[in-house]
Structure formats: structure tokens, C-alpha cells
Amino acid sequence: MTIPVVEARGLGKTFGSGTEQTEALRGIDLVISSGDFVSLIGPSGCGKSTLLRLIGDLVSPSTGTLAVNGKTAEQARVDRDYGIVFQSATLLDWRTVEKNVALPLEIMGFGDEERSNRSRAMLDLVQLGMFKDHYPWQLSGGMQQRVSIARALAFEPSLLLMDEPFGALDEMTRELMQQEVLRLWDETGTSVVFVTHSIPEAVFLSTRVVVMSPRPGRISEEITVELPRLRNQDTREDARYFQLITEVREALRRGETGAGS
Amino acid sequence: MTERDEVIAETAATDVFAAFEGDLPAAKRWWSPRDLGRQYLPALIAFLLVILTWEALTRLLAVETFVLPKPSEVMASFFETASVIWAAGMRTLLEAVGGFTIGVTLAVITSLAAARWVGFREGMLPFAIAANATPIVALAPIFNNWFSITSPVSKMAVVAVVVYFPVMINTTRGLLEVEPAELELMRSLAATPAEVTRRVRVPRALPFFFASLKVASALSLIAAIVAEYFGGPQDVLGQYIINRANLFQFPDAWAAILVASILGIVFYLLILGAERVLMPWHVSLRASD
């Protein structure tokens, strides 16, 4: 039995103190195995981003235990076990596309040649090789986000964390990007935790959809997506795909009413 | 064709991104002669109109030379006394540039320390802001006393203090005004504080730094000339202007003022040029259309 990429037990997070306290997450049990593509879905305020940020050690848990690759989340961050893609591409304006992708490699102390080889290979992987000398502002939103994905994957992390990465994109671009992420997931063999509030997106991408409900944020259901590993535009017209979308939607509704009672 | 090949082929076929290449906004070529002409022509015309009106009005209203000399008289004096006023100008410029260099260097060191240590920043910044609001040139007589009135160092000291505060305050602000998302990205990469400073804070601070340098370049010449008014060697612009004015040689005084203006503009343009070389990514250099 291999060590799970993420293992959370009774994980909880409370922000603030005294009367200002907000309980963002309560009693999260979640296991993500190597190679999984797990989407966290739920209404706003359900703590799905907070859960992702706990895994990335951008915030610390208040209760429970969390292991990433069998280590503490902090150790995993220090070991650069994960790459992260935020909702905004967060590219550094003063760096060219190639230099942006090379940023993690610079910080990790890779040599000049290896750096440029790797960042060029990553840019080819996201099909932006010919834009390597452009500045971020010269690219469209979708292209910027692809650069940020290339940056997150540049050092071959075992885990990719994506926080609503396509939220700001139009529907057409979004569908292309989803296809692209699936291809990268397949080619790199990385595990993915993907936060979204789009039901079709979660179903199209994931091997497993984790449905969350708010006040306090918790996992209400988990749905295994029984679709072929490789998906394409035909998948979006598959009857099974629609069935799964309905299942997730109903799980979300059950979560909502459950929260009210 | 395997299933996987199909997926890849489909992705490639529907790849609309490739089509964007031709439409990408280009970096503006700020040195293009055509753009320069289009950009500065209105200002040039306005300048010539002001000079012509000035010349016409001083002639028409028979304004006395000691009140306001005609531009033609100033120009005549400018060429007649060229060797004297340019030599004086170079000495004043040396004071200005020397003081500027000292002031900017100290300001950058302070800013880096202020960005790094919260306690230092919170203890010092209120005083720096207060000091920035006081008329520091008023210290010139005291500095003349401290650093010997005959030495250019006393003038450089005034310039350095005048330049120090705006550069330090603005650079500190730039080092601290970093996008929270960028800090989070650096945290995810387990970057050290020194890495964050080098790769995020310093580049973010450059626009603030250069904005303050532009202000400081003008301030440095003003401070040098005002410091010269308080006494010292006679072969500098400030003393030359006072002496010629006392002798009612106003066109000479104006010609020296013209030299000071030219030096100030050249100094400013050099900083502008450095900014464009060091910050090719800057917003102001993007094509606007």
C-alpha cells in the first residue's frame, strides 16, 4: 500500500478569535491517492478553497491532522511537493513568459541550462513555446493561465493544486483549458486537487468529486466519476456524463438542505 | 489512431490560441522619431509661441531690461558668456550629482532595511515623513559651517539631505506594496525572505524608485544652487547669478538660469532613459492603441 498523497483526519479550520470567530471547516476526512484527480465543489463559503490552502500550507489547521506525501503540510511545501495554480495567473509582470516558468527553478537553485531547457519543455507542453519571449500582458487570459500551469509543473511536483483556475475565462477557452489539463495530468502522472464551483467542469475533469456544504464547511458526499480516464469533446455529450452531473447537482442540493436543518 | 492521439489531435485542431499571435499588443518603441515628433510637437509649438509672445510684449510695452530682458538679449548673453556660465554650470552640476548619488545610496540602504525590519520601519518612518515636509535647504548655512564653506562637500551635503527623504519614502512604499497573491506564490515555492525581496519586492519598487529619482534630479539642482546662494566659491552658478543681478546684468543672470534649466532637463532625461532600459516591462511603454 503506497502512502496517500493527501490524508486528512478530522481536519478543521477556524478563522479569527473571540466573538469574531468563523468556523470555515469542520471534521474533514479525505484521502487522495497517487494519480487521483479530485475536484472540490460546493457553494461559496463551503471552505473548498480553505481546504486547498490547508493542503498547500498557505494556512494552518486549527484541529485534526493532515499529511501530504506522508509528511506535514509544511514539510511538503518546503520540499516543493506541490505546484499551485491560483484563480488569477499571478505572473510577474517584469519577467518574460519563459522567465516566469523558470521562477521556481531559480529559487530551487537549478543551473542556467537546465532552467531554460526545462522551462522551454514546459512551455511546449502547454503549447506556448513560441511565446517564450513575450511579457505576460501581451497574452490573453487563457494563455496567461497556461503559463501559470507550466510554472506549477516546471519542477515536476507530485501534486498539483488548482484553485478555481478557469473561473475568469470564457466558456470556450475554459473547455479548451479543461482538455489541456487532462492531457497534462495524463502526460505528467501528477495528482490533482481542483477547486471549482462548476458542476460540469468537476465531472468532466475528475476521477472523484468531493461535494462540500457550508456553515461550517464540511464534506457531505463523495462521488466517483466512472468515465474513461481520457475524455474528449464527445464525453460532453455522453449520457453517463449527464447522469453524473445530475448526481453531483442533487448531492449539492442535499448538502444545502442538510446545512439548513 | 489511438484514443489518446484523437484527444491530442482534437486539442490541436481546436487550438484557437495560435490565432492570437498576429494580434498581440506590441511594445512601444519610445525612441521612434515619428512617435517622438507626434508626441512632442505640440509642446515645441507652445514653447516657441511663449518665447515669441515674450519677445513681442517686451518690445511693444518697452519693458526695461532689469525688469524682464527680451529673449533675444538673453540669447545674446548666453552665447557671449558661454565659456563662463558653462564652466560654472559644470561645478554646480558636480555638487548636484555628487549629493544626489550620496543621498540616493543612503536612501536605498535605509529603504531595504525598513522593508526588512518592521520595528525599524515603524520607529523611523514618521520622522522621515516629518523631515520630508520641512524645508531642508534652510540647513544650508549650518552645513556650510560643518563642511567648510569653500568645499563643494558642504553643497553636496545639502543636496544629499534634500534628495534622501523623497527617495527613501517612495522606495520603502514600493518595497512594501506587493501583491498578496505574489507573496503567496513565493510562499508556495518556499522562498526565503531574501528571495522575496530580490525577485518580487525590488522589481515592484522600481517604478516608485524611478518616480522619486525624477523628482530628486530636479531637487538636486535647486538645492545646489540655493546652497550656493548662502556663500562659498564665486565660480558656481548660484554665486554667478547673484553677482550679475547685483550688477544689474540681468540678461547674464537669465543666461545662467537657462544653463541651470538645460542641466536639469538633461539630468531628468538621463534618469528617464535609465528607467526605460531597466524596466522594459513598464505600463507606460505599452502601445496605447
A12-21, A84-93, B32-41, B79-88: range with lowest mean pLDDT:
B32-41
Q: In chain A, what residues touch B195 (CB-CB under 8 Å)?
A: 107
pLDDT at A104 over 70: yes
- In terms of C-beta density within 10 A (0-12 exposed, 13-18 middle, 19 or more buried), how is residue B149 classed? middle
Q: How many helices (H) and strands (E) does chain A have?
A: 8, 9
Closest to A68 in 3D by CA, of A82, A85, A87: A82
Cα separation, B230 vs B35, whole angstroms: 44
- Interface mutation target, options A49, A54, A86, A93, chain B, most CBs of B under 10 Å: A93
d(CA A53, CA A84) in angstroms, rounded, equals 10
Inter-chain residue contact B181 with A58, CB threshold 8 Å: no
Query: pLDDT tens digit string along A25-60?
Result: 888 888 998 889 999 998 888 888 889 999 989 998
Q: Measure in Å the smallest separation between the Cα of A110 and chain B Cα atoms.
A: 14
Cβ atoms < 10 Å from Cβ of B1: 7
Mean per-residue pLDDT for A190-211?
A: 91
- Lowest-pLDDT range, A31-35, A187-191, A215-219, B35-39? B35-39
- List, for residues B21-51, the tens digit of each pLDDT value: 444 555 555 556 666 677 788 888 999 999 9
Q: Residue A146: closest CA among chain B residues belongs to which residue?
A: B17
Average pLDDT along chain B: 83
Q: How many CB atoms lie within 10 A of CB B193?
A: 11
Contact map slice: A 146-175 vs B, CB within 8 A: 146, 172-173
| Nearest-CA distance A76 → chain B (Å) | 10
Averaged pLDDT, A201-210: 91
Nearest Cα to Cα of residue A216 among A252, A162, A258: A258
Q: How would you classify the pairing of strands A208-213 and A6-15? A: unpaired
Average pLDDT over residues A209-217: 88
**Choice between B101 and B40, residue whose per-residue pLDDT is larger:** B101
Confirm if A105 and A115 have CB atoms less than 8 A apart: yes
Q: Between B93 and B36, whose confidence is greater?
A: B93
CB–CB of B281 and A176 under 8 A? no
Q: What DSSP assignment string belongs to B228-257?
A: HHTS--SSSHHHHHHHHHHTT-HHHHHHHH
pTM for this model (two decimals): 0.78
Q: How confident is the model at residue B56 (pLDDT cuts 50, 70, 90)?
A: very high
Q: Which residues of A touch B24 (CB under 8 A)?
A: 134, 138-139
Asked if pLDDT for residue B16 goes beyond 50, the answer is no
Percentage of chain A lying above the pLDDT 90 cut: 21
First-to-last C-alpha distance (Å) of chain B: 46
Q: A1 pLDDT band (50/70/90 cuts)?
A: low
Asked if B139 and B160 touch (Cβ cutoff 8 Å), the reply is: no
* Residue among A126, A42, A44 nearest A83 (CA): A126
What does the pLDDT look like over B184-193, one tens digit per residue? 999 999 898 8
The helix (H) or strand (E) run that includes residue A25 is: strand A22-32
Give the angle subtended at the CA of B15 by the CAs of A90 and A144, to the nearest 5°.
Answer: 10
Q: Measured between alpha carbons, how far is B24 from B190 in angstroms, rounded to an integer?
A: 34
DSSP string, A120-175: HHHHHHTT-GGGTTS-GGGS-HHHHHHHHHHHHHTT--SEEEEESTTTTS-HHHHH
Per-residue DSSP letter, A91: -
Interface test with B, best of A78, A90, A99, A178 (most B CBs within 10 A): A90
Q: Can you tell me the distance from the alpha carbon of A186 to that of B230, in angstroms, rounded to the nearest whole number?
A: 76
Residue with cell 466573538: A19
Chain B residues with CB-CB distance to A186 below 8 A: 4
SS3 assignment, position A3 = coil
Question: Which value, to the nearest 10 degrees, does the dihedral of the CA atoms of residues B141, B142, B148, B153 take?
Answer: -90
* Nearest-angstrom CA–CA distance, A46 and A37: 20
CA gap B213, B186 in Å, rounded? 29
